[in-house]
């Protein structure tokens, strides 16, 4: 791994002995950091004694830019937040605007939102699991996971013409209805996926080498997960039984039957495996949504339009692939928001690095960072 040695500092260890602590910079331009993240690691030999994440290398001022755009023009900006899960950022923002403007979304549009965002959850989790495979030398897992992700991305490409930044969910509904034959193609993908995931589970999480690299690494207790504001698979891997889709339901989620995978050890292994089995539950949700969806409009009345909501503010949140994604919007009654603020689950989860890394090796530090599944467009904003 390419790192920059910054300094050697004499420090006292727990027994009062003077040791020479090495400070190294890992990143921000290195594939092991999963994006433009810099970690200042203090090491004693091969053991990390302290780790400090340094962010801001991808900061683009999106929240400030939102103040100078109309409510509809902001949608493409949300794509650039969690660029591995763009549908979620679209949806969270649109829900906050719809709450502010008292817009009622048609039922068909709500079903389409659920279908596309659960597909997005699968694609995002495959990116995380594949990256964990690459971090531990399991290149076959990387290829298999990205093959599954490609099947989802192809569906998105047919749906809206894009493979990464979609701008598909809009205030009041979605950009356009599902194309002919799309539901059949979607059903074919989700019907095949559970068997593929079981095979991936045996290949990677059942492998002795992967277990040795992941088990007992970066252990996060349930109490610490709650205290630090962790959410999503990062918290559920520690046994925190909380998912907004079930515990604070929104859209049409109350109509679906699904389970919430949980871990018990709170280590990198449990966090990764939770993501794998969440993909299976997403398939269950999509199948039920495809069975229940009915014909109808996909836009609210008068869509699209330049919104000028009432003066006031609104907050809404959804369960993204990384956890609780919240959006606050304040309006002064004009066609542009007065203030927009995003509550990023990736930002909260990344803060755990400093707590989880000490006592582990540098190679374990890379595994821990990957197990938190950070996306730095959402961290920096």
pLDDT digit string, tens, across residues 274-302: 999 999 999 999 999 999 999 999 988 87
Cα 80 to chain centroid, rounded: 13
CA–CA dist 295, 107 (Å, integer): 9
Contacts of 156 (CB under 8 A, 6+ apart): 116, 119, 123, 162, 163, 166, 168
Confidence at residue 218, expressed as pLDDT on a 0 to 100 scale: 87
> Where do the domains of the chain lie?
62-345
Confidence at residue 2, expressed as pLDDT on a 0 to 100 scale: 46
Q: Distances from the Cα of 76 to the Cαs of 71, 97, 286, 358, in angstroms?
A: 10, 15, 25, 39
**Per-residue pLDDT tens for 303-347?**
656 677 788 899 999 999 999 999 999 998 888 999 999 999 998
**pLDDT confidence tier of residue 81, bands split at 50, 70 and 90:** confident
Confidence at residue 304, expressed as pLDDT on a 0 to 100 scale: 58
Judged against a pLDDT cut of 90, whether residue 94 lies above it is answered with yes
CA–CA dist 68, 269 (Å, integer): 43
158 near 179, Cβ under 8 Å? Answer: yes
Judged against a pLDDT cut of 60, whether residue 11 lies above it is answered with no
pTM for the structure as a whole: 0.90
Judged against a pLDDT cut of 60, whether residue 238 lies above it is answered with yes
**Per-residue pLDDT tens for 16-25?**
666 678 888 8
64 DSSP assignment: H
Which CATH fold would you assign to the domain 62-345?
Answer: Cytochrome-c3 Hydrogenase; chain B (1.10.645)
Mean pLDDT, the chain, whole residue set:
88
Judged against a pLDDT cut of 80, whether residue 31 lies above it is answered with no
**Per-residue pLDDT tens for 172-216?**
899 999 999 999 999 999 999 999 999 999 999 999 998 999 998
Buried-state track 361-378, b at ≥16 Cβ within 10 A, e below 16: ebebbbbbbbbbbbbbbb
Per-residue pLDDT, averaged over 150-169, amounts to 91
Tell me which long-range contacts 180-184 makes (C-beta under 8 A, separation of at least 24).
Answer: 182/155, 182/158, 183/290, 183/293
**Per-residue pLDDT tens for 99-149?**
998 889 999 999 999 999 999 999 999 999 998 888 888 889 999 999 999
Judged against a pLDDT cut of 70, whether residue 377 lies above it is answered with yes
Contacts of 291 (CB under 8 A, 6+ apart): none
More confident residue, 10 or 65: 65
> Among residues of the chain, what percentage have pLDDT more than 70?
93
Judged against a pLDDT cut of 70, whether residue 15 lies above it is answered with no
Judged against a pLDDT cut of 70, whether residue 6 lies above it is answered with no
**Per-residue pLDDT tens for 347-371?**
899 999 989 999 999 889 989 988 8
């Amino acid at each position: 791994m390419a790192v920059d040695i910054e300094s050697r500092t004499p420090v006292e260890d727990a027994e009062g002995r003077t040791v020479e602590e090495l400070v190294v910079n890992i990143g921000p331009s290195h594939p092991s950091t999963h994006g433009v993240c810099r970690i200042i690691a203090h090491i004693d030999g091969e053991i990390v004694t302290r780790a400090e994440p340094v962010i801001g290398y991808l900061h683009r001022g999106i929240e400030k830019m939102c103040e100078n755009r109309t409510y509809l023009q902001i949608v493409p900006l949300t794509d650039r937040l969690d660029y591995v899960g763009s549908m979620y950022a679209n949806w969270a923002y649109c829900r906050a605007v719809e709450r502010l403007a008292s817009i009622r979304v048609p039922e068909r549009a709500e079903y389409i939102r659920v279908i596309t965002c659960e597909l997005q959850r699968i694609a995002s989790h495959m990116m995380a699991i594949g990256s964990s495979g690459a971090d531990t030398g399991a290149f076959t897992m990387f290829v298999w996971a990205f093959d599954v992700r490609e099947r989802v991305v192809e569906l998105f490409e047919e749906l809206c013409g894009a493979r990464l930044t979609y701008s598909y969910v809009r205030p009041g509904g979605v950009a356009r209805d599902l194309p002919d034959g799309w539901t059949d193609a979607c059903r074919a993908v989700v019907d095949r996926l559970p068997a593929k995931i079981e095979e991936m589970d045996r290949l990677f999480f059942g492998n002795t080498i992967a277990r040795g690299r992941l088990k007992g690494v970066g252990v996060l207790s349930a109490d610490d997960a709650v205290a630090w504001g962790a959410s999503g698979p990062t918290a559920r891997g520690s046994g925190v039984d909380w998912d907004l889709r079930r515990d604070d339901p929104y859209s049409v989620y109350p109509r679906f039957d699904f389970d919430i995978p949980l871990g018990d050890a709170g280590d990198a292994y449990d966090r990764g495996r939770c993501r794998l089995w969440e993909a299976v539950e997403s398939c269950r949700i999509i199948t039920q949504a495809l069975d229940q969806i009915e014909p109808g409009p996909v836009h609210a009345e008068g869509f699209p339009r330049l919104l000028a909501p009432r003066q006031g503010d609104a907050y809404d949140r959804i369960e993204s692939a990384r956890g609780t994604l919240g959006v606050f919007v304040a309006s002064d009654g004009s066609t542009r928001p007065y203030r927009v603020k995003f509550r990023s689950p990736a930002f909260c989860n990344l803060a755990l690095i400093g707590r989880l890394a000490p006592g582990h090796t540098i190679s374990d530090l890379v595994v821990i960072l990957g197990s938190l599944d950070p996306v730095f467009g959402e961290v920096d904003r």
